[in-house]
Amino acid sequence: MVSKGQKKMSFLRRVKTKAAIPYNAMMMVGVRVFIAKYLPRQKLKTADLTGKLAIVTGSNVGLGKATAQHLAEMGATVYMVCRNLEKAEAAKQDILKAVPTASLHVIQLDTSTLENCRKFCEDWAANGGKTIDMLFHNAGIGCPPDLDNPFGPDGFEHMYMTNFLSNFVLTHGLERFFAPDASVVMTSSPGVYVADFSRDFAKQSTKDFMEPGYHYAKAAHPKPAYSVVYSSGKQMQLIFAKNLMTKWKAEGKGYVAHAYNPGFADSDFFSKEGVKTAKRKDDPIWWLLTTLKSPMPPSEGCKTGVMLSIDKSKKVTDKAGRFWDRMKWRSSPVDLYNDDFLGRMWDRWCLDTGIEWSMHPQESTTVSKASVDESVTEKN
Ligand SMILES: NC(=O)c1ccc[n+]([C@@H]2O[C@H](COP(=O)([O-])OP(=O)(O)OC[C@H]3O[C@@H](n4cnc5c(N)ncnc54)[C@H](OP(=O)(O)O)[C@@H]3O)[C@@H](O)[C@H]2O)c1
């Protein structure tokens, strides 16, 4: 069945999309990482962002810091939302050296628990609930901080919580402060082409457990590499962007959600234990990226994300919810998912976060409730 806001893909477009997916995968996963440093510089148009407010998570280093700097240069007030206040203050001073007029604020947030993310939203409200024009979900890790324990404080696989579920909780909690044309931008990755979900993953919340076909591709069972687990969360960001667009279009809201690929960018990401120590046979993706010496600077990698947040032309907004790379939208496996699967994902995120948030406005909260009931039945 075709839900509101989504047209059925024509046969021809489906064939074209199917052909484009392996091509894009090869270019992004197989070719561009080798030559990232040598790729032509992308032209980032500037905009006058005076009076606009941006939140950027994980903005004390790497892509997040570079994003904050681009936005500050254009006049935006930027909230640097980071887990380590000392590092964030140092990053703020760095940006101020380059952009003395920058309006920067630092707020602490560790995205590895649901409670931290919820509290962030409550505090935002308590502190006046300023209008948000741009929300960047950028904080991310490529392996759990404790390599002996894949699960975070809430019992969720660490990368799933830190890199993805936090996006869900923060978007839900902050939506009421969005400007009418607000942009939500998620730093995704070519992992979008690596992830592979089974169509029948559990409709129940699983803690202290990683589910093959959901947390990682079933084919990787029983020892999924960190890069494979990471990729699932990165594809979820894209599915989330697509689902948000379905929801917001149906609600007549003017917000846009995008997921983008920054390309292979030089950052601390690759110097974390577990990523930098990856062995070729255990985790060929992390091994390859840490072995290659060809990343581009983060200020280049983040350009597509910055462009998506400031370009309100129809060329960009009409393609919200698609996967963006080097300033263009690209076909991805998510284009082929049907409504049932997309809704199933949404319901699972509601269950995992405990949030009642309907993807289809007319259904109110009954979707997630129905799923809870069903999961209980499945379990018995
Ligand atoms: N670099 C690439 O080639 C590449 C490619 C594709 C996608 N990405 C994505 O780009 C995003 C930014 O990564 P990056 O390359 O710029 O790496 P990075 O330099 O390591 O930056 C990651 C940021 O996320 C923060 N972070 C990590 N765990 C957090 C937590 N629990 N709570 C709050 N903040 C947390 C880090 O804070 P600390 O400094 O305190 O650790 C840091 O600010 C990530 O989502 C990553 O998956 C990167």
Show me where the domains of the chain are located.
Answer: 11-379
The pTM of the full predicted model, rounded to 2 decimals, is 0.94
Assign 46 a pLDDT band (cuts: 50, 70, 90).
Answer: very high
Name the region of 171 (left: φ>0; alpha: ψ -120 to 50; beta: rest).
Answer: alpha
Question: Among 268, 160, 262, 270, which residue's Cα sits nearest to residue 214?
Answer: 160
DSSP for 309-341 reads HH--SHHHHTTTTSEEETTEEE--GGGG--HHH
Round the average pLDDT of the chain to a whole number and report it: 93
- 74 C-beta closer than 6 A to ligand 1: no
Q: How far is CA 180 from the centre of its chain?
A: 21
For residue range 331-377, what is the model confidence (pLDDT) as tens digits? 999 999 999 999 999 999 999 999 999 998 775 444 443 343 333 22
Mutate to test the pocket of ligand 1, among 33, 56, 61 (most ligand atoms within 8 A of CB): 61
Mean pLDDT over 108-136 rounds to 98
Q: How far apart are CA 311 and CA 297, in angstroms?
A: 22
Collapsed DSSP state (helix, strand, coil) of residue 185: strand
Q: How far apart are CA 94 and CA 269, in angstroms?
A: 19
Q: What pLDDT score does 6 carry?
A: 55
Residue 58 scores a pLDDT above 80: yes
- 304 C-beta closer than 6 A to ligand 1: no
For residue range 146-197, what is the model confidence (pLDDT) as tens digits? 999 999 999 999 999 999 999 999 999 999 999 999 999 999 999 999 999 9
Question: Among 313, 333, 346, 362, which residue's Cα sits nearest to residue 217?
Answer: 333
Place of tokens 């890069």: 227
Place of tokens 């992830």: 195
Mutate to test the pocket of ligand 1, among 65, 141, 157, 158 (most ligand atoms within 8 A of CB): 141
Report the DSSP beta bridge partners of residue 256: 183
Distances (CA, A) of 287 to 142, 163, 195, 278: 12, 20, 18, 5
Distances (CA, A) of 258 to 22, 134, 186: 21, 11, 6
Query: Is residue 57 within a helix (H) or strand (E), and if so which, with residue range?
Result: strand 53-57
- DSSP assignment letter at 43: P
Q: What pLDDT score does 104 carry?
A: 98
For residue range 229-266, what is the model confidence (pLDDT) as tens digits? 999 999 999 999 999 999 999 999 999 999 999 999 99
Q: Name the phi and psi angles at 107, rounded to 5.
A: -130, 140
Residue 1 scores a pLDDT above 80: no
Architecture of the domain made up of 11-379? 3-Layer(aba) Sandwich (3.40)
For residue range 72-106, what is the model confidence (pLDDT) as tens digits? 999 999 999 999 999 999 999 999 999 999 999 99
Q: How far is CA 379 from the centre of its chain?
A: 30
For residue range 2-24, what is the model confidence (pLDDT) as tens digits? 444 456 788 999 999 999 999 99
220's tokens: 């990787």
Distance 221 CA to ligand 1 centre (A): 26
